[in-house]
């Protein structure tokens, strides 16, 4: 009976990209909808991907001296309101706790949408001297933002993230931290998620509420839409002043410290799906794949096959590879489709004929490439193939990004390029928010970032024709 | 100036145990109060202890096939109310979200006090066949229970925990899971936290709301009060029926699965403080200490001392030991007191005379024992001393437990023993809740557990004189 189990089909990505995306989220068993509107459940396979991401990022954060903490999840309204810009930015999206047990609370409490206010409040009580600086904190938790429309990983009322919050003696140190963490994110996207990024600064319109400057890593998905990968903010001493965070400086005078924050979320899983997935399902970079190698015995009822497959699995496990074997009674066709759907980077097949020849077959998920390998050389060959999948994914994504950045010199041209080709449209920009609004209104694109790697395309703004010194990227964003 | 920095004193534990406890929580920089009443902040040092606990437990859970997931933090009231006993047990302590953004919600949402209901709701939608069982899930998160009085780690409106939730084909399998996880906790307490436990079953009065049976590991603190360490629950198919969780069984008929849950929280940090701490501060078991060894250069301005101390640190780091060196300009006295306060298990001192003699000095935190060690033998000696601290803590705590379990044969005797000596009072018990109430009322003790390791003390209940077959432990609990 089980052998006839059907492989579930997903929507073709060329037909309906949004549905293709949702199909993968569900069929690869990454998420499931909860009975609370707008909330999702991270299922074991989805959570395992998140855990791998966490582990790698957490180690990077700690290498540069960051420490994890846990702040309360509820923020008193009066505390949240001390910094006007921040609260205005987040107020429409805050979930409020108004009752504890059977009693109405005297002051309602916000479920954290972000924790700058809590960190500042804490620092205002524990910071005394410049000797205690910098304070380099990070927190892994979930936050709530009461979004109207939601999509798995990309926009969800609750999402899981890390939020780094740091405090420094000088503005220079805080700026260096903001840059360091931006680069940390960029490296993570490129080396771990195999997604190339554009590093840049957000415009004032798009920056984080209350920040002096917001930096971003922007990615391009397979449908050529933009996705903001992670952000790093510099606050100056604005929050310090609002929350009365002070320290005694080297000059023995009371000073305000300088602050940063930086965050990345489970939407990175959404980025991985849309950067690498195909019509057979998810394609995972080996660096974050819960299962890097699936061992499939072929004609497993034949003598010696199961034992040989088991031995391969044990050897790969001993070599530090995340490996599983599937010796269930499902058909070979079903198994192959199933592990393709789940994005397992490498399949190892071994059957009676392979046994005779002292070999096995490796099949790469990303391009279907098969390699016949002598059993003796298994570990080395598997590591090579995994590295090749990781590299192959990155190169393909890089090609997608590089081939879809188009210069434009007017809003009309920008609009036409976006409609015909998609991707990032790069133009010169005068810096005026009204030009940003015009691009949004007329061409349907938001500013993605002012890339750190600038080019001089022309002398004037593509929107208004006034002198312009900055090159900016536009796109349609998730 | 900094050299004159004062060592902060803590309250003597014999004078005021509660104040001594709070002093350690604050002075060892484990927690800080938040500006939200009843909520605490886990500071870097406290959180690092929690991270070490998490890492070890998580690996154990995974060894037995458990997978991590993330469930939504908010539970619709109607969902929470489907199982009457559970909601009655938790309703007085639930925090309610009633507003999202500026809109009143149609149905109020509970901040999870525990997630049985969410898991059941999820399972009711994803479970189909016996082939998918068991489902072995775990979640690391924070929960809220709106307590009236709070104390750091022990009772806090928000606390951090893991909650395991599993679903099984048969009652036997679910019971075996409950037992396995109880033993997992017991091992963790004894081998990792160095705290001996009494394994037992909770009475009906003390069991988890909605559970068929609750098992517990009970610990004894230095003040001879009891602390419930962690619990493991068996639910039968009660929740399955309430939430309509079904699967097609081997007989092709629809069946209800059997369920367990089990949890442990940041209160384990409180247990460590009160099981091992002394009047100089925290004493950490090496297995969970964020810093296992602190290297202190003596007379560090003398030639070669700093280099030698740095070399020791590097060697210990390379040997996989969590080590730090303090070469700040604080005085030696301050440093020693500081790392004692923070409970660092081992101090390594090296000065000019040691250098000449090719040696260093190891000082154990738990008993002050000094060992002079040849530099060549450093790694081995440090590992031996760390093992000896771990073992020494366990033995001392075991002695404290074993020496303070007293048999009693009447409520009056039980009361007198508790007042004079403290600890666990063991009696025979008829099983009647009215006897439990009488013990509480007349002797101020709650039932801790019915130990799995039973003894026959007499034939009759110490409370009512009726025939009794069970031995029960009583105590004053945190």
**Which of A39, A98, A122 is opposite residue B99, by nearest beta carbon?**
A98
* B228 closest CA partner among B471, B448, B474, B452: B448
CA dist list (Å): A413 to A390, A410, A463, B356? 36, 5, 10, 79
Q: Is the pLDDT of residue A478 over 80?
A: yes
Per-residue pLDDT at A474: 98
**Which of A2, A67, A121 is opposite residue B48, by nearest beta carbon?**
A67
pLDDT in tens, A8-32: 689 999 999 999 999 999 999 999 9
Residue A341 is encoded by which pair of tokens? Answer: 């759907």
Burial A248-287 (b: 16+ CB within 10 A, else e): ebeeeeebbbbbbbbbbbbbbbbbbbbbbbbebbbbbbbb
Residue B454 distance to chain A (closest CA, Å) = 39
CA dist list (Å): B91 to A73, A105, A280, A323? 20, 16, 47, 45
Whether residue A79 lies within 8 A of chain B, CB to CB, comes out as: yes
DSSP for residue B9: P
Distance CA A418, CA A404 (A): 10
Residue A187's pLDDT band (boundaries 50, 70, 90)?
very high
Residue A167 is encoded by which pair of tokens? Answer: 């405090």
ipTM confidence: 0.95
Per-residue pLDDT at A373: 97
Per-residue three-class SS string for chain A: CHHHCCCCCCCCCCCCHHHHHHHHHHHCCCEEECCCCCCEEECHHHHHHHHHHHHHHHHHHHHCCCEECECCCEEEHHHHCCCHHHHHHHHHHCEEEEEECCEEEEEEEEECCCCHHHHHHHHHHHCCEHHHCCEEEEEEEEEECCCCCCECCCECCEEEEEEEEEEECCHHHHHHHHHHHHHHHHHHHHHHCCCCCEEEECCCCCCCCCCCEEEEEEEECCCCCEEEEEEEEEEECHHHHHHCCCEECCCCCEECCEEEEEEEECHHHHHHHHHHCECCECCCCHHHCCCCEEEEECCCCCCCHHHHHHHHHHHHHHCCCCEEECCCCCCHHHHHHHHHHCCCCEEEEECHHHHHHCEEEEEECCCCCEEEEEHHHHHHHHHHHHHHHHHHHHHHHHHHHHCCEEECCCHHHHHHHHHHCCCEEEEEECCCHHHHHHHHHHHCCEEEEEECCCCCCCCECCCCCCECCEEEEEECEC
Per-residue pLDDT at B355: 95
Q: Which of A41, A117, A123 should we substitute to test contact with B (largest number of B Cβ atoms within 10 Å)?
A: A41
Q: Is the pLDDT of residue A94 over 80?
A: yes
Whether residue B122 lies within 8 A of chain A, CB to CB, comes out as: yes
pLDDT in tens, A428-461: 999 999 999 999 999 999 999 999 999 999 999 9
Per-residue pLDDT at B41: 97
Residue B1's pLDDT band (boundaries 50, 70, 90)?
very low
φ and ψ of B52, to 5 deg: -65, -40
Per-residue pLDDT at B328: 94
Chain A residue numbers touching B158 (CB-CB < 8 A): 72-74
Q: Do B68 and A92 touch (CB under 8 A)?
A: no
Q: Do B35 and A93 touch (CB under 8 A)?
A: no
Per-residue pLDDT at B5: 55
DSSP for residue B91: G
Per-residue pLDDT at B94: 95
- Domains of chain B: residue spans and CATH: 25-276 (3.30.930.10), 291-387 (3.40.50.800), 405-475 (3.30.110.30)
Return mean pLDDT, chain A: 96
Distance CA B256, CA B259 (A): 10
Q: Do B96 and A94 touch (CB under 8 A)?
A: no
**A47 to chain B: closest CA residue:** B69
Q: Is the pLDDT of residue B3 over 50?
A: no
CA dist list (Å): A137 to A116, A229, B347? 11, 21, 27
Chain B residue numbers touching A70 (CB-CB < 8 A): 41-42, 47, 50, 142, 160
Chain A residue numbers touching B1 (CB-CB < 8 A): none
Q: Do B99 and A121 touch (CB under 8 A)?
A: no
pLDDT in tens, B385-404: 999 999 999 999 999 999 99
Number of A/B CB contacts below 8 angstroms equals: 156
Residue A90's pLDDT band (boundaries 50, 70, 90)?
confident
Q: Are B333 and B7 contacting, i.e. CB atoms less than 8 angstroms apart?
A: yes
pLDDT in tens, A132-151: 999 999 999 999 999 989 99
Q: Strand A346-350 to strand A293-297: parallel, antiparallel, or no bridges (unpaired)?
A: parallel
Per-residue pLDDT at A4: 46
Instruction: Please identify among residues 125-154 of chain B the ones whose CB lies closer than 8 Å to any CB of chain A.
Output: 125-126, 131, 137, 141-142, 144, 146
Q: Do B69 and A96 touch (CB under 8 A)?
A: no
Per-residue pLDDT at B225: 98
List the single range of A32-46, A163-177, A437-451, B75-89 with lowest mean pLDDT.
Answer: B75-89
**Which of A44, A69, A125 is opposite residue B47, by nearest beta carbon?**
A69
Provide mean pLDDT across the span A206-234: 97
Find the DSSP H helices in B236-284: 238-243, 267-276
Residue B185 burial (C-beta neighbours within 10 Å; 0-12, 13-18, 19+): buried
Distance CA B152, CA B159 (A): 10
Return mean pLDDT, chain B: 96
Provide mean pLDDT across the span B74-78: 95
Residue A426 distance to chain B (closest CA, Å) = 36
Q: To the nearest 10°, the Cα dihedral for B139, B140, B141, B144?
A: 80
Instruction: Please identify among residues 53-72 of chain A the ones whose CB lies closer than 8 Å to any CB of chain B.
Output: 67-72
The percent of residues in chain A predicted with pLDDT above 90, rounded, is: 94
CB atoms within 10 A of CB B403: 12
Provide mean pLDDT across the span B38-56: 97
Residue A172 is encoded by which pair of tokens? Answer: 């220079």
Residue B2's pLDDT band (boundaries 50, 70, 90)?
very low
Q: Are B346 and B384 contacting, i.e. CB atoms less than 8 angstroms apart?
A: no
Q: Which of A30, A52, A100, A342 should we substitute to test contact with B (largest number of B Cβ atoms within 10 Å)?
A: A100
First to last CA, chain B: 42
The percent of residues in chain B predicted with pLDDT above 90, rounded, is: 94
pLDDT in tens, B180-198: 999 999 999 999 999 999 9
Whether residue A409 lies within 8 A of chain B, CB to CB, comes out as: no
Chain A residue numbers touching B41 (CB-CB < 8 A): 69-72, 118, 122
Residue A257 is encoded by which pair of tokens? Answer: 């410290």
φ and ψ of A166, to 5 deg: -130, 155
pLDDT in tens, A283-309: 999 999 999 999 999 999 999 999 999
Per-residue pLDDT at A6: 60
Q: Is the pLDDT of residue A5 over 80?
A: no
Residue A42 distance to chain B (closest CA, Å) = 5
Residue A85's pLDDT band (boundaries 50, 70, 90)?
confident
Q: Is the pLDDT of residue A3 over 80?
A: no
Residue A7's pLDDT band (boundaries 50, 70, 90)?
low
Residue B85's pLDDT band (boundaries 50, 70, 90)?
confident
């Amino acid at each position: 009976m089980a052998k006839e189990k059907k492989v579930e089909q997903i929507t073709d990505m060329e037909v309906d990209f949004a549905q293709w995306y949702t199909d993968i989220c569900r069929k690869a068993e990454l998420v499931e909808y909860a009975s609370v509107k707008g909330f999702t459940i991270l299922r074991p396979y989805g959570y395992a991907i998140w855990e791998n991401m966490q582990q790698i990022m957490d180690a990077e954060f700690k290498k540069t001296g960051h420490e994890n903490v846990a702040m309360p999840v509820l923020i008193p309204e009066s505390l949240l309101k001390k910094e006007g810009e921040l609260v205005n930015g987040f107020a429409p999206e805050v979930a409020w706790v108004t009752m504890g047990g059977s009693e109405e609370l005297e002051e309602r409490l916000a479920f954290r949408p972000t924790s700058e206010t809590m960190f500042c409040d804490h620092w205002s009580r524990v910071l005394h001297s410049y000797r205690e600086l910098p304070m380099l904190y990070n927190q892994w938790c979930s936050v709530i933002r009461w979004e109207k429309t939601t999509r798995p990983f990309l926009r969800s009322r609750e999402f899981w993230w890390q939020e780094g919050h740091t405090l420094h003696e000088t503005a220079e140190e805080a700026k260096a931290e903001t840059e360091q963490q931006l680069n940390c994110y960029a490296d993570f996207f490129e080396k771990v998620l195999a997604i190339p990024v554009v590093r840049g600064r957000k415009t004032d319109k798009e920056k984080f509420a209350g920040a002096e400057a917001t930096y971003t890593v922007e990615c391009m998905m397979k449908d050529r839409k933009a996705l903001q990968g992670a952000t790093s903010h510099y606050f100056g001493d604005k929050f310090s002043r609002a929350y009365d965070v002070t320290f005694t400086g080297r000059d023995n005078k009371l000073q305000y410290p300088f602050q940063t924050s930086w965050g990345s979320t489970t939407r990175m899983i959404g980025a991985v799906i849309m950067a690498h997935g195909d019509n057979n399902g998810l394609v995972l970079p080996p660096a974050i794949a819960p299962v890097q190698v699936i061992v499939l015995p072929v004609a497993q009822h034949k003598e010696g096959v199961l034992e040989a497959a088991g031995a391969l699995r044990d050897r790969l496990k001993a070599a530090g590879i995340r490996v599983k074997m599937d010796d269930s009674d499902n058909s070979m066709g079903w198994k192959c489709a199933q592990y393709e759907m789940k994005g397992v980077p490498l399949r190892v097949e071994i059957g009676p004929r392979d046994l005779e020849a002292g070999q096995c077959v490796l099949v790469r998920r990303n391009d279907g490439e098969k390699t016949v390998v002598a059993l003796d050389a298994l570990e080395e060959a598997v590591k090579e193939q995994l590295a090749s999948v990781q590299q192959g994914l990155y190169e393909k994504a890089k090609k997608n990004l590089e081939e879809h950045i188009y210069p434009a010199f007017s809003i009309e041209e920008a609009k036409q390029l976006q409609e015909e080709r998609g991707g990032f449209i790069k133009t010169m920009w005068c810096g005026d928010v009204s030009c940003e609004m015009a691009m949004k209104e007329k061409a349907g694109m938001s500013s993605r970032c002012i890339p750190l790697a600038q080019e001089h395309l022309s002398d004037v703004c593509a929107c208004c024709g006034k002198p312009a010194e900055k090159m900016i990227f536009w796109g349609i964003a998730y």
